[in-house]
Structure 1
């Protein structure tokens, strides 16, 4: 009797916690759906780099949702990660790094959202060969991204120069770098490391946009690796600390920059050499890196009185203004940060005016801080408001359709800037909807195919036959029901012996996803002795696979035949038989013949897990 009572109590307790868990899961999904609907109201989608989630490989571990610093960009719906507030994404890439199965790749925005962006390849090269664009001008925010791009761009140029053999005349540079911000500085340091003949020109001062940020602005939130220094491990860094760090490294590297020199024109000759004309000189170079930034000339509102000296577009030293009545106009991070900085100075009365009914484009960190600032009474926010006139001691606003005049000493306008798109067009760089990046073009192809499928009526069998024809190996047993050519959902399979044939991104992702799901025993066979690392083979993905203990890798392996309960392969010339429940053939058509080599006529050996690595 006591045993039954104890069992009953245990069941009740288990049911209670299960009910709480399911109810919490339901509420989480409801919040995610609400966030997704809210996201649709404020944006058509991501405006620059953002995560692309392949739900086929997603195992629902929630790693991506937990690491995102911007809050609810991602959420879990139906056990899968989805983008709910894409407009908040600024390209941290932490979600892609955290995904254990490589189901997330970073892609550029859809063509409709990037009509004014330059067309770039995965190497950040424009349609003009050896003319590169890095940093924010290419569509990516964050200093971390700019640093990584500047370094990788120089590596690409160095590889090309080495493959050419002899270098050109002495008056020709290997690379000319335009801009001395995060991307330009990193590219310059990397050029020094690679012993390249380089020149860096900057129209303003070293530091680029960072040098113009307000004092103590937090500019970095994750570690990065700088050339000639190594990994910078601090997770948070202010503007002053970053500039001081750069100054130290640049001095040690004997970095030379030609400041106060604006680039007026870039022309490429028939010999492949660029002629770069600046306000002070003219240079000839094999390659050009544009690290200009995207801010450009501050955008004006065209409001009466905007030409008055009290109206400004950039705030450097907030503590220079005390006991003042201040209006800040804008709804982005720059406006919010400036308003909060001014609000914390002695005696200031700060009003923040924004034309929308809420902040929808600011970082999660700033969203929290501005709410606290408003609650404490240090800052007043006027939503649905626009300036009508700036006067000597006042500002006239329209707030929710009503005219309002408030006392004022200074005005800061943060309405963005005019990017140098005219200059890009002048030098032949193509802008618009055509995207040259591999991953983004893949996404565009998927969208185009889906649209075409709706427009054209096909028989159900046609696409299946076509897909099979592209992937078939022509080996015995390939027609068995256990053989598949695509993975529909990794979470469907549990406690299976699975063989994956292929060495590309799809095969690697499938191996990782199936290895993490349902106690499966996964073997990946690959014809080569090492996986390629490059734009089409995600480097992090390959590294993750090679360190993953849940997936056994058979290199230099070819498949000879498939049976009901095993697969016959040769591994480094040795015949083997692998126990098997399912086979996924995930290769491209060009690789078919490489998997058809029959095994040597010898006695087969049953391979046990762990025999090969």
Structure 2
């Protein structure tokens, strides 16, 4: 069985930052990622532009040079991939962790490909893999997706975009500009206030001029093969529809955390229990890093404010090894 000082579960930006720090500290480490390098970023929309500026997305002080102040997805993929390759980080890709069990102060990790033993574990799995379902009849139809990639696919189609976050607004605007007939279904009374400040006026203007239709204070009640049923303040309406892009957010894999033994808060936020000074959970030698620390509040932690977790965690691990 392969034995390591540290195994990092998740090869996103924060998992990579943890790997860099572990390598600098001389630990025998391994990053295990179930997809490609920074898999979540890879699955972002093709034309996505970050809210953060490039220097705030940097890890380990490695400069991130982008054409504009706010980089785009492809530039981020290039940046993080180059960090992995140029630093020859020990990372296993397309290998999903199936279980983590603690036995005699060691963690036993089983994946779809192999088994491992480690003294320390960092879980940096993010939140992008499990969508928040809207739980209505027809949500499992082939025309429904909870991920958005490229607007070309929706040209000349009747598209319903559910949500009013950054991703929903980007999808609505891009699909409209590629010739889709777009209707937004928004639960609240307006477009979200956290939408990128240079994009929010654009979507508001497109709605006001009628280029993009919007149903505010509304919810989808049912998705049918050729229509959707929407509950609006004016009553139930049925809208012709070819595709539904339901961008209602995502959540961490709470079941995975619970199986490992991490305690979650008993409210709807499901905050995981950890020491804010070390990032160690209630399970000794098991740490959390990145957005997963925020439970259902997935907007609290992101790359620019959680990249510090790597140094915090490795400092604690090194101090334990010195005892």
SS at match of 2:139: coil
SS at match of 1:218: coil
Residue correspondence of structure 1 range 285-296 to structure 2 within 5 A = 285-296=118-129
Matched, 1:299 2:125: no
Q: How many corresponding residue pairs?
A: 268
Contact 1:331–1:362 under 8 Å retained in 2: no
Summarize deviations over 1:214-250 as a string: whole Å, max 9, x none: 11211252314433x7233553110011102222332
Match of 2:160 in 1: 327
Contact 2:163–2:248 under 8 Å retained in 1: yes
Identify which of structures 1 and 2 has the higher relative contact order when contacts are C-alpha pairs closer than 8 Å and 6+ apart. Answer: 2
Summarize deviations over 1:252-277 as a string: whole Å, max 9, x none: 2223432222212222232x322112
> CA separation in 2, counterparts of 1:315 and 1:414?
8
Match of 1:198 in 2: 29
The root-mean-square deviation of aligned C-alpha atoms, in Å, is 2.5
**207, 219, 241: which one aligns with 1:386:** 219
Contact 1:333–1:361 under 8 Å retained in 2: no
Match of 2:182 in 1: 350
> CA separation in 2, counterparts of 1:254 and 1:212?
23
> CA separation in 2, counterparts of 1:390 and 1:171?
48
> CA separation in 1, counterparts of 2:117 and 2:193?
42
Larger radius of gyration: 1
User: Where is the helix percentage greater, Structure 1 or Structure 2?
Assistant: 1
> CA separation in 2, counterparts of 1:349 and 1:436?
49
Return 5+ residue gaps in structure 2 as ranges: 266-270, 278-310, 313-323
Matched, 1:252 2:86: yes
Match of 2:99 in 1: 265
Q: CA deviation at 1:353?
A: 0.2
Summarize deviations over 1:497-534 as a string: whole Å, max 9, x none: xxxxxxxxxxxxxxxxxxxxxxxxxxxxxxxxxxxxx9
Return 5+ residue gaps in structure 1 as ranges: 1-169, 439-533, 536-613
Match of 1:284 in 2: 117
SS at match of 2:63: strand
> CA separation in 2, counterparts of 1:302 and 1:268?
35
Question: Does the C-alpha gap of structure 1 residues 320 and 330 become closer, same or farther in structure 2, counting only changes over 3 Å?
Answer: same
> CA separation in 1, counterparts of 2:258 and 2:240?
44
SS at match of 2:207: helix
Contact 1:331–1:361 under 8 Å retained in 2: no
Contact 2:217–2:232 under 8 Å retained in 1: yes
**246, 250, 255: which one aligns with 1:413:** 246
Contact 2:64–2:79 under 8 Å retained in 1: no
Matched, 1:372 2:205: yes
> CA separation in 2, counterparts of 1:177 and 1:231?
23
Scaled by the length of structure 2, the TM-score of the pair is 0.75
Contact 2:187–2:216 under 8 Å retained in 1: yes
